[in-house]
């Protein structure tokens, strides 16, 4: 079998690259080790309820906003059912029981925070201006013909937490502004301002949920590729690249089949590339660099099924902290678990009055799971199941404090740990967002799509920026190694 482009992994990055390149006439093949495509966009069902595994809400989908334009190009608008979150408070940040709303659009966001912190007008203004300017400097955000690098380099070497503290005097407001940092597994002493800005500014523009499951996004993107003549192989693993003269000729699959390609794109963790490639084809420096990079922390998720018509549909996300410092990933203490959680109900077409299910996310260190690291999903034993039950009950007790009576509304619950993420997404130690970007070593922790192997390119959440918008931008940058970037941006912006 021979294709123009062979893509390893059908997560969002792989599907978007497949869409772009198949539209441009390339024959595309996607190889997925799991039995369903989509990576962390997959959904699963329990007791007739759908749960999203990764994409719980998204951003910038108003007309004229950045992700709206990308969705328009990919043929997603009009096909997906979207639920806009509350404009006066799409996120609520709760710190030791004190609650603060984060509102949509810069003016309302500022005015709402000023109700809580009336003396911080200048600081809030400086903060919003800075994150907007960082986004506007990126041509993949603005679709400008004046190409600029995806990175606004000056902000890569600045810490998000330290910048916020430099313009905001009130320490509680500093924490509120960073209160949804689990969206990028924010680290107080490592996360660059660039990462924070791209994500926060986009959600301030507008925040949305996809109704009836994120798998609908996967289906549309997959159908687009198949309609263009592309192929999708699931339940089979890409195991080894066969390279001649610094160029991949074939990828060998777990069933011994060989697939030939002109270009290869990996939507996996970069370390997987090292494992699929002979050492002589990768420089020792790159090898050491990738293996030395830290990954973002993993997540424990509690999936709640509600008894019918018992728990209200909440058109916002609720972030709660039991401590003053919201940068948990860099200050994780298993003895204090859970130090925080984010509570998000699932949007469905069934009702906008009552919720049928919800997901609750909190960090979990992989070291707490070491005794089961050599096991597989569904085969970890009763001790592991008891560990998860104890964690679930402890987390549910914390949620009950902020939502009195919620336990009586719960019909059943289910759980996942970083081990689950590791098995399904292939990230080291079940990392939520892959490689941790570090402003202390910005050029080392930012991975560009081009590799030393002439026809191998990288994409996905490990490359550049996390989240649905970040992965979308990264996918365009990856495809720009094959198609002219200005041409591509013109096509996307003109739809």
Instruction: Please state, for a pLDDT cut of 90, what percent of the chain lies above it.
Output: 77
pLDDT in tens, 98-154: 999 999 999 999 999 999 999 999 999 999 999 999 999 888 999 876 655 555 567
Residue 343 burial (C-beta neighbours within 10 Å; 0-12, 13-18, 19+): buried
Let me know if residue 19 belongs to a domain.
Answer: yes
Average pLDDT of the segment spanning 309-338: 97
Let me know if residue 486 belongs to a domain.
Answer: yes
Is the confidence at residue 279, as pLDDT, over 70? no
Let me know if residue 132 belongs to a domain.
Answer: no
Pair of tokens at residue 260 = 């030939």
pLDDT in tens, 2-16: 999 999 999 999 999
Is the confidence at residue 282, as pLDDT, over 80? no
Residue 189 near residue 330 (C-beta atoms within 8 A): yes
pLDDT in tens, 418-473: 999 898 887 888 898 888 999 998 878 778 899 889 999 999 988 778 789 999 99
Q: What is the pLDDT of residue 289?
A: 80
Q: How many CB atoms lie within 10 A of CB 137?
A: 20
Whole-number Cα distances in Å, 482 to 46, 171, 450, 455, 468:
42, 47, 10, 9, 22
Average pLDDT of the segment spanning 260-278: 89
Mean pLDDT over the full length of the chain: 93
Let me know if residue 70 belongs to a domain.
Answer: yes
> Residue 246, CB half-sphere, CA atoms under 13 Å: how many?
6
Let me know if residue 347 belongs to a domain.
Answer: no
Let me know if residue 221 belongs to a domain.
Answer: yes
Q: Where residue 247 sits, what CATH number does that domain have?
A: 3.50.50.60
Alpha-carbon distance of 6 to 264, in angstroms, equals 5
Let me know if residue 203 belongs to a domain.
Answer: no
Let me know if residue 231 belongs to a domain.
Answer: yes
Residue 160 near residue 438 (C-beta atoms within 8 A): no
207-210, strands of its sheet edge to edge: 58-59, 207-210, 82-84
Is the confidence at residue 170, as pLDDT, over 60? yes
Domains of the chain: total: 1
Residue span of the structural domain in which 487 resides: 2-44+57-80+212-293+434-493
């Amino acid at each position: 079998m021979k294709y123009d482009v062979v893509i390893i992994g059908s997560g969002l990055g792989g599907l978007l690259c497949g869409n772009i390149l198949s539209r441009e006439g390339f024959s595309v093949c996607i190889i997925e080790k799991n039995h369903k495509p989509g990576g962390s966009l997959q959904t699963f069902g329990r007791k007739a309820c759908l749960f999203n595994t990764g994409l719980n809400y998204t951003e910038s989908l108003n007309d004229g906003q950045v992700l709206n334009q990308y969705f328009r190009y990919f043929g997603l608008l009009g096909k997906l059912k979207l639920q806009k979150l509350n404009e006066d408070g799409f996120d609520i940040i709760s710190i030791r029981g004190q609650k603060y709303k984060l509102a949509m659009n810069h003016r309302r966001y500022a005015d709402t925070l000023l109700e809580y912190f009336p003396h911080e007008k200048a600081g809030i203004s400086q903060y919003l201006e800075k994150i907007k300017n960082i986004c506007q400097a990126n041509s993949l955000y603005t679709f400008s013909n004046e190409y600029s690098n995806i990175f606004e380099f000056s902000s890569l070497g600045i810490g998000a937490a330290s910048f916020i503290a430099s313009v905001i005097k009130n320490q509680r407001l500093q924490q509120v502004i960073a209160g949804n940092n689990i969206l990028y597994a924010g680290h107080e002493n490592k996360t660059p301002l660039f990462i924070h800005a791209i994500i926060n500014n986009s959600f301030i523009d507008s925040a949305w949920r996809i109704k009836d499951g994120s798998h609908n996004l996967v289906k549309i993107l997959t159908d687009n590729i198949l309609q263009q003549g592309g192929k999708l192989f699931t339940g089979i693993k890409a195991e080894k690249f066969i390279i001649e003269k610094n160029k991949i000729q074939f990828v060998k699959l777990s069933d011994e089949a060989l697939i030939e390609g002109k270009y290869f794109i990996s939507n996996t963790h970069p370390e997987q590339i090292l494992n699929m490639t002979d050492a002589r084809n990768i420089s020792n420096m790159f090898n050491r660099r990738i293996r030395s990079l830290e990954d973002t922390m993993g997540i424990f998720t509690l999936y709640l099924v509600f008894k019918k018509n018992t728990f209200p549909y909440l058109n916002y996300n609720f972030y709660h902290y039991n401590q003053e410092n919201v940068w948990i990933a860099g200050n994780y203490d298993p003895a204090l678990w859970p130090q925080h959680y984010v509570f998000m109900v699932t949007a469905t077409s069934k009702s906008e009055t009552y919720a049928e299910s919800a997901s609750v996310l909190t960090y979990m260190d992989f070291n707490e799971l070491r005794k089961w690291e050599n096991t597989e999903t569904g085969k970890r034993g009763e001790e592991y199941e008891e560990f998860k039950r104890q964690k679930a009950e402890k987390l549910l007790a914390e949620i009950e404090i902020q939502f009195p009576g919620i336990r009586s509304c719960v019909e059943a619950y289910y759980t996942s740990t970083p081990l689950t993420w590791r098995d399904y997404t292939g990230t080291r130690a079940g990392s939520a967002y892959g490689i941790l970007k570090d402003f202390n070593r910005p050029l080392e922790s930012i991975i560009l799509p081009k590799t030393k192997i002439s026809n191998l390119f990288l994409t996905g959440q490990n490359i550049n920026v996390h989240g649905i918008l970040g992965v979308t931008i990264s996918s365009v940058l990856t495809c720009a190694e094959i198609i002219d970037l200005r041409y591509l941006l013109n096509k996307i912006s003109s739809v």
